[in-house]
Amino acid sequence: MATFVLVPGGWKGSWSFEAVIPLLERAGHTVHALTLTGLRPDDDNATVATANLDTHADDVLRLLDRTHITSATLVGHSYAGMVIAAAADRADGRISRLVHLDAYVPRDGESCWSSTNEHFREVFAAGAATTGYAVRPPDGGDPRRRPHPLASFLQTVRLTGTLAQVPRREFIYCSGWEDRTPFAELRTRLQADPEWQVHDLPTGHDAMHEAPEAVAALLLGERIADASTHR
């Protein structure tokens, strides 16, 4: 049985995986869903202001240490692709699989800011205008979303190459929001890389809410009718 560590994207907490978790547990797997530092309901302003990408990678590593996980499947949605990449690079071989769920797949020296498109740079800049350190959630969406630490969007990732030793690496591309997605070029890049498996899912960005069964099926390694896979 696998051990899944689910890491939410920008502005979200562990609740973003609430529809997927029972599907994985029902299949007999162990599931840990994180809420990253600065996104927890009781985090104060100082915590939000000082949280960055390193802080969030450490959140994942602390969970691995605390629960004595030695073979984890890390799943990162959106921004959290940065987090799981950074964590896997520092995890001393304890990661057996990476799944970037419509998420950034950084190279050394890249950041969420440098990897995204102009639309989201504008969202980040406008959202941080009030405080200078926390990006307010975009209008609409789940009311549980919280202001996101700006530093985590801006900090560049440091990767040593250890990431390439993770035996299984996958990218799930959500094709239902192609007018705004920052991941189209990334999908093309990874499709050309034999070390990556790319799945296409015809949903919007928040696939965990729109199609939790399809997301769970991909995480469980099952074929689903409305998804395509490329090696």
**pLDDT tens sequence across 106-154:** 999 999 999 999 999 999 999 999 999 999 999 999 999 999 999 999 9
Q: Which residue has the tokens 């549980």?
A: 144
Q: What is the CATH number of the domain that holds 204?
A: 3.40.50.1820
Q: What's the mean pLDDT when you consider all of the chain?
A: 96
* Count of other CB atoms within 10 angstroms of residue 95: 28
What confidence tens digit (pLDDT) does each residue in 18-57 have?
Answer: 999 999 999 999 999 999 999 999 999 999 999 999 999 9
Q: How many CB atoms lie within 10 A of CB 210?
A: 16
3-state secondary structure of 61: helix
* Residues of the domain holding 146: 3-230
pTM: 0.96
Residues 155-165 have pLDDT tens digits of: 999 999 999 99
Cβ(11)–Cβ(148) under 8 Å?
A: yes
Maximum Cα–Cα distance across the chain: 47
> Based on the structure, what is the number of domains in the chain?
1
